[in-house]
Structure formats: structure tokens, C-alpha cells
Structure 1
């Protein structure tokens, strides 16, 4: 158990700091301790929250890694340093994704034995209490087969720690379910993933290839791929969901009869909408660094940010980073 606060990048996000502060207040009402990081003059209405001053803000469109190296007093950098220095249990940022990744990696460092950290994004599975975990969903556009095996290990540990899945099923994203399908990278990774050693150490089970249509299916618990493919797959799924919801809302408002029918369906569709809402997820975790780092969407609502802070707090409480360390660098 930890009593340390979650460090929140108060300047990160499209509507920062206002939306961030609103999310922080929701999290605080739930009993989660929070530490704000940002420009003090912009946070005068933050109330009783402790503030770590940071004079610089990395713009959403800036190049992440170089900005982190140049802007040492940026809010996202200071948030990562708070975790590194033991002032915070975890960090949350809805700012520049590349900067959040770079700050987490450069300030916290990698877990020993991890070649590259990966972004693990939960994808809702209808009718199931836990999501599918997709990784890498954007941190590494080019990967080796060995990295994909490490992603599988980290995803399995994360799935077990956060959702209590005793034996996570791991699938490899490909263009066909047959073992011989896929690019040279996928074929090589498939052979490595069949090895029983990593499966026994993580308590996972490699089930073979899965396809893009399986992202929301109850076939596996962890879906492994390179960051380029994973990000495209994730954004495609998000775009389809957005368009489908928009089309349904348009159809429900197309006539008086449709509006009456919509009223009848509302009690059933409301909970379904909540299940698919990105606000219920809050953010994705960067697995492989020596600290809990949650990366949220720039347009995150206060509710989404509050959920991200809650996830960060819970993962710190469960010592998920320690679990990853024990699996990936047991000596």
C-alpha cells in the first residue's frame, strides 16, 4: 500500500489546465491523493493541492523526445521526476504523447531486461468484465520479434495484475489466423511466442494469430503487435465506433417515429454507450518503465482524467511495476 500522491501534468491536454483541474477534483473526492505539476500562476484556483512548479509546457504538436531533452523544466518532465524521486507513486499526462513517453523513459528509466517500453491500451469487449489489452499501440513503430515477446510478457502481467485474469490468453495480430500467415516479423515472432518458457514464467498461454476483426472479440486477453500496426488498428476501431454512434444518433432523430423508438431503446442503449465510451478507460499505461505512467488522450474530459488518475493509483497500490520487474529481470 502507498500513501504517495499521483503526479498530474496540469498543463497537458487540449483544455489544460481547466479540464485537468476538474478531473483532479473528481479524483480527490474519491479519496485519491494528487500532486499537481505545472505553471503556478495558471493553478491559482487549484485549492489545497500541492503544486510542483514547472515553467515550461511542451506543445501538443512538438517533437516529443527532443523537447524533453531541451525543456528540462517542462511540466511532463517534472511529473516524471516526481515519480523517480519518490515524491509521487505514479504520473498522468494528457499532453504530448511522445513527450510523456520520452519523459517517463529518460527520467524513470527502463526495467532491467526490457528492450523497449510499450503502450498498452484497453479495448472494451462486449459482455465481458475485462478488456482486451493491445500493445504496442504506438510507442515503437518498428520492432524486432524479440520485442514482441517482451510485449506479450508485459501485457500478460498487466492483465493479471489489473483485472485478475489468472491465465491470460495472448494472440499475435496478423492478416490471418493460420500459423504461416503474416509478415516476416510476424512469422518470426510466432515461432518465439510458441516457446513454453516465457508462458510458464508469466502464467500466460499463447493461442496463435488473431485478425483485426478480433480486437473486440472474447478470443484472447492480450493482443501483441508492433506500434505502427497497433496504432492504426486502434485508431481504426475508434473511428468506426465514432461513426457508428453518429449514424445511430442520426437515425434516431430522423423522424417522429424514430424519436419515439429511441425513447424506448434509451434504457438499453445508455449502459452500452457507457461501456464503449473512452471516458471510462481514462488512458493507457506505458509498460516497461520503472514507474507507473498513464498517457491520456489530449481531448480527455474531466471524467476521463479522473479515471486515469484512479487507474494510476490502483496500479501503484498493486505494485504492477514490481510484478513486471520480477518477471522480466528475476535475478
Structure 2
């Protein structure tokens, strides 16, 4: 297994990225890592050179770069070189904590779509409250702002495939995100998508799901258009962060008694925080491409990188992408 790493992508690169790789090496000594970026900076954090190759480049894609232009103009950027390595068969997967739009563009234009997959979707595994080891896969989370009903059906197939092959869920329950559970609710997009999903063979479609029920485990796979999916994801992130902040400020406002109570609840509070941390499931997958392309959060730390590499390892070990290729070939 070889993983191409954009070592210069992210708010804390290359330190957080390389330190995460070092942690993952302990879990998966069989993986070879190709680290793309400024060699002198990367080497500061490499504690074990076994199965590590550094490919030097001074160029990188910045967070404020226009994605498609950056991919086309910055030919030697760390992200572009890593994607090229996957395209050329020198690596089996790529991940980056850098510019999301640029990584999506690199995945589409360099790595390439699987034949008959019209719109690859950006997918994350999000937490289910009360089920620390559970979760649900949601897509599209922003790869495509505008979608047709047929695209949502394809997302259902992709998400169901990932849930079954990678997360070992038998007959995953697929739901359509909507503003009501009734079949007649929603926009023209969701009404038509509901009709098509109901007729799609090979998936276990259970109907509509409302946003308020997402974290309760109502479905294993949730599909929506990219604009809505991105807004919902950021709402979940923002709510979790603000609730933790509100809880902290409320405790501090109670003075000594509040601090004593917090001390007694320390383990429970830590558990709540960990339960809402979806980075333990790995990064966001641009699913439907010829190889795994994974996006981690820009502010990611070493542990999150470790989880992402674990996710990639599972994807490669289960050969989910080759299986997806064969699935779509069989549908021709």
C-alpha cells in the first residue's frame, strides 16, 4: 500500500500532517508514505524514515487560491504532484488537509471519475448520539452545489456501497434528507428523487428523514444535494462547538461549585466531546473516483490524520474502489 500525502496542506502543516503519519506508521507498518512538500520542513518532524519517501517541492496551493486555476497553473504544487502519483500508479490513494475545492478539482481532473459515475459525491461518516462506534454516511457535502434527481440516486448507490463494503453494514438503510417525512413533502428535486429512489434496485431505501433526526441513527446513509449537505454539515459542527462553549461558560459562571461539579463530571464531559468528534471515522471521501481521494479538516491535528490513514487503509484493504468499478461495468 502506498499513500500520497500533501504534507503542506492545512493550517498546521507540515507538523500536524507528518506527526500524524508517524503515529499511523505504528499501526500500519506495511504502508509506504510519499510525502510531498518542502523537504527541510518535513524532515523536522520525521522520527522514523522507514517506508517514508519525501518528494521535494517549494510550491503549494493556498487556502485562498481559486481551485481550478490553482490545479492548472501550479503544476508542481504538493497536492498536484500527489494526485499525479495516484494517476500514474505510483500511489494507491491521496489525502490532504488543504484547499477543499482544489482537492476536489485534482480528484476529478487528475485522478478521474469511474466510468458511468456522473457526479462523484463528497461523503463523511457522522456521529450517532448514544452509539460511540456508530455513525451514518452523508453525501453530497459540497462537491456539487447543484444536482439533478438522478445524481441523488447515484449518491444513494455510492453511499450504500461504502457503508456495506467499508463499514460492514448489512443492507444499509438509505434515506433522503427532506423537510418532512411524508412522501409528498419537499422541493421538485426531492419529490422526483424520492420517486427514483423508491424504484432503484440494490439499495434499501426507507424514505425521507428530517435534519433533526440525523444524529439519532434514523438511517445508515443520507443523501442530499451538495448545497444542502454542506449547510447541514456546518450547522452540526457549529452547534456542537457552541454547545460545548455554552456548557463551559455556564460551569465557570457558577464559580467554585460549578468547578467542583465539572470535576466530578470530567469523564462524562470528555466522553460527550469524543462522541461528537466525527474525525475518528476519518476524513471526507470524494467517492466515485478511480482511487481514494480523502479530505481532512484544515485545522486537523495528528490524531485526526491517524484516523484518516486508518480509513484509507480499510478502503484499500477491502478494495472498495475496484469493487465499485466492477459494479458500474456490470450495469452497462
- TM-score for the superposition, normalised by structure 1: 0.94
SS at match of 2:215: coil
Deviation string 1:69-104 (CA, Å, 9 cap, x unpaired) is: 111111111111222222222111000001111111
CA contact (8 A) 1:90 1:313 kept: no
Aligned residues: 323
Give distance in 2, aligned partners of 1:329 and 1:149: 17
SS at match of 1:216: helix
1:13 aligned to 10, 14, 23, which one? Answer: 10
Measured after TM superposition, the shift of residue 150 of structure 1 is: 0.4
1:172 aligned to 156, 169, 176, which one? Answer: 176
2:51 paired with 1:52: no
2:140 paired with 1:136: yes
Q: Which runs of 5+ in 1 are unaligned?
A: none
Measured after TM superposition, the shift of residue 267 of structure 1 is: 2.2
Per mean C-alpha deviation after superposition, the further-off stretch among 34-43 and 154-163 is: 34-43
| Residue aligning to 1:253 | 252
- What is the correspondence of 1:11-90 to structure 2 with a 5 Å cutoff? 11-32=8-29, 33=31, 34-45=33-44, 46=46, 48=49, 49-90=52-93
Measured after TM superposition, the shift of residue 278 of structure 1 is: 4.1
| Residue aligning to 1:188 | 192
Measured after TM superposition, the shift of residue 127 of structure 1 is: 2.5
| Residue aligning to 1:104 | 107
2:244 paired with 1:240: no
CA contact (8 A) 2:36 2:54 kept: yes
Give distance in 1, aligned partners of 2:72 and 2:251: 51
Give distance in 1, aligned partners of 2:54 and 2:231: 37
Over the aligned positions, Cα root-mean-square deviation in angstroms equals 1.4
In structure 2, do the counterparts of structure 1 residues 196 and 98 end up closer, same or farther at CA, with 3 Å as the change threshold? closer
Q: Which runs of 4+ in 1 moved over 3 A?
A: none
Deviation string 1:134-179 (CA, Å, 9 cap, x unpaired) is: 1000100000111110000000001111211111111111111111
Q: Which runs of 5+ in 2 are unaligned?
A: none
CA contact (8 A) 2:148 2:189 kept: yes
1:115 aligned to 106, 118, 125, which one? Answer: 118
| Residue aligning to 1:224 | 223
CA contact (8 A) 1:89 1:313 kept: no
Per mean C-alpha deviation after superposition, the further-off stretch among 92-101 and 256-265 is: 256-265
In structure 2, do the counterparts of structure 1 residues 123 and 265 end up closer, same or farther at CA, with 3 Å as the change threshold? same
| Residue aligning to 1:317 | 317
Measured after TM superposition, the shift of residue 261 of structure 1 is: 1.2
CA contact (8 A) 2:6 2:35 kept: yes
Give distance in 1, aligned partners of 2:200 and 2:152: 15
CA contact (8 A) 1:278 1:304 kept: no
Deviation string 1:196-246 (CA, Å, 9 cap, x unpaired) is: 42xx2xxx3111111111221221111100100000000001100100011
SS at match of 2:294: strand
SS at match of 2:17: helix
Give distance in 2, aligned partners of 1:319 and 1:250: 47
